[in-house]
Structure 1
Amino acid sequence: MNASDTTVVSMAGVAPGTPVAAAVEGRAKIFEMTQAAEDAVLRPREAGAWPHTLRAALAARIATRNGEHDLARRFVANAGVHAELSDPKVSGTDAPMRAVLAFMDRVAADTRNATAQDVSTLQAAGVSDADIVRLAELNAFLAYQIRVIAGLRLMKGVSA
């Protein structure tokens, strides 16, 4: 893998041969490690309660909530039967999923107002602590990824 083949570089629209592409190549290891983190968060060996297709739907939902529609389309392509959950207007069909989606939405779009009560709601819905950590990891990674994409766009002189 090289840095130009990563999701963040692709989604930022960094063209080969540009000064931004040279900067990316100069820090190739960071971009390769970012891609490895994406792979680990979306397709971990130990998925817990969140299969890869659901993780992809949640990632697409987070991207949509943050105005990253191309990134959302990239993730929803792998969401399979969970694709509808990528739409922030969908609230889930059962109490546990409603709690998960509400948590993901809060952390993705209203982080400063997330509280211990949000975690308690997940626990009350039957979500294990390990699976709550997995949700938080997914949300944290997407926050990072979206900011790196935005930063690369700023370096190009193009806003999202």
Structure 2
Amino acid sequence: MALVTTALRQAGITTEGGLAAAVEGRAAIFEMTQAAEDAVLRPKDEGPWSHDLRAALAARIATLNDEADLAAQYADGAGAFADLADPENDGAAQGLAEVVAFMDKVAADTRNVAAADVSGLQAAGVADADIVRLAELNAFLAYQIRVIAGLRLMKGAFA
């Protein structure tokens, strides 16, 4: 299996065994997933959310979802925003308290996200398109974390 993606690496999928063959047969899905990761975390037009900040938020989301290894991978790319990867940091020192609170709520308390949460970002001066960018990042991480969990379950079945 020559395919290498974050999801496969984090799930511990190796080049040997029956699961590797199953994954190879679905290579396009994993390639598209990696392309989505690249687009969300390192877009050509990053807008107000730098690649470092996006990595810090991704690490934070992974931590909130008990994915320590994934969090560490993203934290490695967080640069000056590395301290935001820690959910204990509320983002106030960086002027990002509203953004951090929104991202945390979407990541860990999704069912209680309401229009008021979006209005709070708008009141803090975050443009609608930039709110969408934040939501895309959170949505991708939710998807990726579930793919990794599913691969781990499958790996157990093939063990």
TM-score band w.r.t. shorter chain: over 0.9
For 1:81, the equivalent position in structure 2 comes to 80
For 1:24, the equivalent position in structure 2 comes to 23
- Over aligned residues, Cα RMSD in angstroms? 1.5
1:103 to 2:102 alignment: yes
SS at match of 2:92: coil
For 2:153, the equivalent position in structure 1 comes to 154
Structure 2: how far apart are the matches of 1:67 and 1:101? 18
Structure 1: how far apart are the matches of 2:36 and 2:94? 30
State the shift of 1:95 in Å. Answer: 8.4
Structure 1: how far apart are the matches of 2:146 and 2:26? 16
What letter matches 1:44 in structure 2? P
State the shift of 1:19 in Å. Answer: 1.3
TM-score by length of 2: 0.95
For 2:140, the equivalent position in structure 1 comes to 141
Structure 1: how far apart are the matches of 2:149 and 2:87? 21
Which string of whole-angstrom CA distances, capped at 9 and with x for unpartnered residues, describes residues 27-52 of structure 1? Answer: 00100110000000000011111000
Kept after mapping to 2: 8 A contact 1:95/1:125 = no
Structure 1: how far apart are the matches of 2:124 and 2:81? 19
SS at match of 1:154: helix
Bigger mean CA deviation after superposition, 28-37 or 149-158: 149-158
SS at match of 1:157: helix
TM-score by length of 1: 0.94
Where do 1:40-51 residues align within 5 Å?
40-51=39-50
Distance 1:11 1:27, change over 3 A: same
Identity rate, percent: 67
Structure 1 gap segments, 5+ residues each:
none
Structure 1: how far apart are the matches of 2:146 and 2:92? 31
Structure 1: how far apart are the matches of 2:52 and 2:10? 20
1:37 to 2:36 alignment: yes
For 2:65, the equivalent position in structure 1 comes to 66
State the shift of 1:94 in Å. Answer: 4.9
Bigger mean CA deviation after superposition, 37-46 or 91-100: 91-100
What letter matches 1:54 in structure 2? L
Kept after mapping to 2: 8 A contact 1:100/1:122 = yes
Bigger mean CA deviation after superposition, 91-100 or 50-59: 91-100
Kept after mapping to 2: 8 A contact 1:96/1:127 = no
Q: Size of the alignment, in residue pairs? A: 157
